Amino acid sequence: MKKIYIEENIDICLFEVLPGIVIRYEDFENKDLVEVANKVNIKDIQDEMIEISYCHEGNIECVFEGGGCVYMGSGDLHAGLVDKYPPVVSTLPAAKYKGISIYLYVNKLSYSMPGILNYALGDINEFKEKLFPTEKYFWKVGNCINWVGGKIERIFLDLNNLPDLEEKAKDNYMKIKVVELLLLLSETCANENKAKNKYYLKSQTELVKNIHDEIINDLSKNFTLKELSDRYSMSQIGLKNCFKAMYGKSIAKYIKAYRMEYAAVMLRKTDETVMNISASVGYENQSKFAAAFKEVFGVKPTEYRKGDMATYKI
């Protein structure tokens, strides 16, 4: 496997699992994806490429010409044609992303299909037509298929957690998993392509970003969904759906996690009392704060402050 370390907080592994098929393991934090793409370009040959991507953690925001925004979050599967409808900009709303992308070089596979793929793909152009039967699946963005759960998701989980094998055996394991994936995708697409495109207008996402910033800028306040939707003139359903798409959690779960992470930093880096920290993150009742903190970190705030910080995830 060819592993590339670009810089701190960016980890990318490239592996040509079969001639014409590349797997890319991606682990980003706090980076604009355009910057990453400029540093690692897998398109070493001029070829049309099909991209099949699965998100394990975090999410990606892609903003396209015309004002459409698409979010790929944990458990989402996306298929697209590379460079057909490139985003204007890609960012990480939740400041992290971990996933796997598989790239199929269409021309190369048209010219020479590896024997092991004959039963899974047959003809690469027919496979492409199954994935993208008509232009109706595109709004200058690609096809966010979102097959969540089942055998297809299991394959990506297996690829993410490779068994402890000798290098050659591990390579063969990956080949088998990729062939299995393509076979299942081909059969699923042949039956029915159930696209669940999650498109949002740029105007919506800008409002939700403002709401997000307001929430985290003063953690002592407790906002209600109705209060936020009224203030920003968004429906409660629209706000809930858009926020979860952008940040991977409901507003309530997101703010709770953010508060606990902020409290952990305060416990680690300041001498503030637990009572004051509790109030600063919106908990008037110190006991409720302690219970919420333990739910996330496994220990009470006082135990966390006394313990070895290296053993806890901040």
Q: Which residues of 217-247 are buried (b: 16+ CB within 10 A; e: fewer)?
A: eebeeebeeeebbeeeebeeeebbbbbbbbb
Q: Are residues 118 and 154 in the same domain?
A: yes
Confidence of residue 145 (pLDDT cuts 50, 70, 90): very low
With a cut of 90, say whether residue 278 has pLDDT above it: yes
Q: Are both 117 and 21 inside the same structural domain?
A: yes
pLDDT: which is higher, 199 or 105: 105
Q: Is the pTM of this model over 0.75?
A: no
Position 311 pLDDT exceeds 50:
no
Q: Can you give the pLDDT at residue 199?
A: 72
What CATH number is given to the structural domain containing 51? 2.60.120.10
Angle separating helix axes 202-217 and 236-247, nearest 10 degrees: 80
**In a shared domain, residues 98 and 229:** no
Q: Please report which confidence band the pLDDT of residue 248 belongs to, taking 50, 70 and 90 as the band edges.
A: confident
- Specify whether 18 is located in the same domain as 147: yes
What pLDDT is attached to residue 288? 92
Give the pLDDT confidence score for residue 251 in this predicted structure: 92
Q: What share of the chain is helix, strand, coil (3-state, %, to 5)?
A: 45, 20, 30
Please name which of 105, 185, 107 lies closest in space to residue 143, comparing C-alpha atoms: 185
Residues 106, 241, single domain; the answer is no
- Cα separation, 260 vs 143, whole angstroms: 36
In the block, tokens 């429906």 appear at 235
What mean pLDDT do residues 186-202 have? Answer: 61
**One domain, residues 174 and 287:** no
For the segment 68-79, what is each residue's pLDDT rounded down to a tens digit? 787 888 888 888
Q: Of 134, 164, 197, which marks where a domain is finished?
A: 197
Q: Does residue 299 register a pLDDT over 70?
A: yes
Q: Which two tokens stand for residue 92?
A: 């990480």
Asked whether residue 171 carries a pLDDT value surpassing 50, the answer given is yes
Residue 9 has pLDDT above 80, yes or no: no
Looking at residues 100-113, what average pLDDT do you find? 88
163 and 264 part of one domain: no
Give percent of the chain with pLDDT exceeding 70: 78
**What range does the domain containing 125 cover?**
2-197
Last residue in a domain, options 175, 197, 219: 197
Give me the percent of the chain exceeding a pLDDT of 90: 26
Residue 137 has pLDDT above 70, yes or no: no
Residue 257 makes CB contacts below 8 A (sequence gap 6+) with 249, 296
Q: Quick one: 258 and 244 in the same domain?
A: yes
Do 59 and 127 lie in one domain? The reply is yes
pLDDT of residue 247: 86
Instruction: Return the CATH number at 238.
Output: 1.10.10.60
Q: Domain total for the chain?
A: 2
Mean pLDDT of 120-144: 64
163 and 215 fall within a common domain: no
Shared-domain flag, residues 192 and 208: no
Instruction: Out of 76-85, 109-118, 139-148, give the one with best mean pLDDT.
Output: 109-118
Q: What is the mean pLDDT of residues 243-248?
A: 86
**Residues 47 and 166 placed together within one structural domain of the fold:** yes
**Average pLDDT, integer, range 196-212:** 81
Average pLDDT over residues 144-171: 77
Query: Which residues contact residue 185 at a Cβ distance below 8 angstroms, ignoring those fewer than 6 apart?
Result: 52, 79, 127, 130, 131, 152
pLDDT in tens, 48-59: 888 888 888 888
Tell me how far apart the alpha carbons of residues 156 and 55 are, in angstroms, rounded to a whole number.
9
Asked which of 82-86, 147-151, 284-288 is least confident by mean pLDDT, the reply is: 147-151
Domain boundary among 197, 213, 240: 197
